Amino acid sequence: MVFIADYGAGNLRSVQKAFDYLGVNSVVSSDPGKLVGCKKVLLPGVGAFGQAIDSLNRSGFTDAVREHVDKGGHLLGICLGMQLLLSESEEMGSHSGMNLVPGKVRHFRSATDKIPQIGWNSIQMQKESLLFRGMPDGSFFYFVHSYYCEPEDNDAVAAVTWFAGNNFCSAIEKNGIFAVQFHPEKSSEAGLQVLKNFAGC
């Protein structure tokens, strides 16, 4: 069972439909109490960092997700859900994150590339990964974002992607915490494989 956290900032139904297509049981809930007992938790996210972290804190999901990770449960953050796992973000001011992955969320700066990044781009795997098991290096995924994650620990970086003159971290994997900057639910067969791998790891 995959628990999909509804904290008011996510494209929940498209993620759930992807799991339905894969035959994976999932539940969408705004009650963090129902997270208890689920081995897999998914944190989606679309929108601004500051509003999203405030919503997580008010709803009780911040503490529930931290407890879930502390007990050895698996967590997958998608897009903004990935960024919320870091220590802080510079999006529209300075905001503290969940600090499950020490690091900062930074804004793309480029004189040549149009920001936000919208569209398909490839990943370059940085280590053997459960999330990308059975997938070729250079696989393409769908991105929509203006900010990117910069973890302090390079060992947490599972994949990078080239954009705006920078090989930014596009996937994180360490100690049961998984995260992707792209949208697997919008990334065709490659994205479905990522969700399948998360559900089965």
Low-confidence ranges of the chain (pLDDT < 50): none
- What pLDDT is attached to residue 66? 96
In the 3-class helix/strand/coil scheme, how is 20-63 assigned residue by residue? HHHCCCEEEECCHHHHCCCCEEEECCCCCHHHHHHHHHHHCHHH
Give the predicted TM-score (pTM) of the model. 0.96
Can you read off the two tokens belonging to residue 151? 């973890």
Q: Quick count: other Cβ atoms within 10 Å of Cβ 146? A: 12
| Tally of CB atoms within 10 A around 77 | 28
**Which one of the listed residues 79, 91, 95, 149 is annotated catalytic?**
79
Tell me which of 68, 74, 145, 183 is the catalytic residue.
Answer: 183
Q: Sign of torsion, CA 191 194 199 200?
A: positive
Identify whether 74 is a catalytic site residue. no
CATH H superfamily, domain 2-200: Class I glutamine amidotransferase (GATase) domain (3.40.50.880)
d(CA 74, CA 54): 23
79 assigned to active site:
yes
Q: Are 24 and 195 in contact (CB under 8 A)?
A: yes
Question: How many angstroms separate the CA atoms of 3 and 33, rounded?
Answer: 11
Single-letter amino acid, residue 20: D
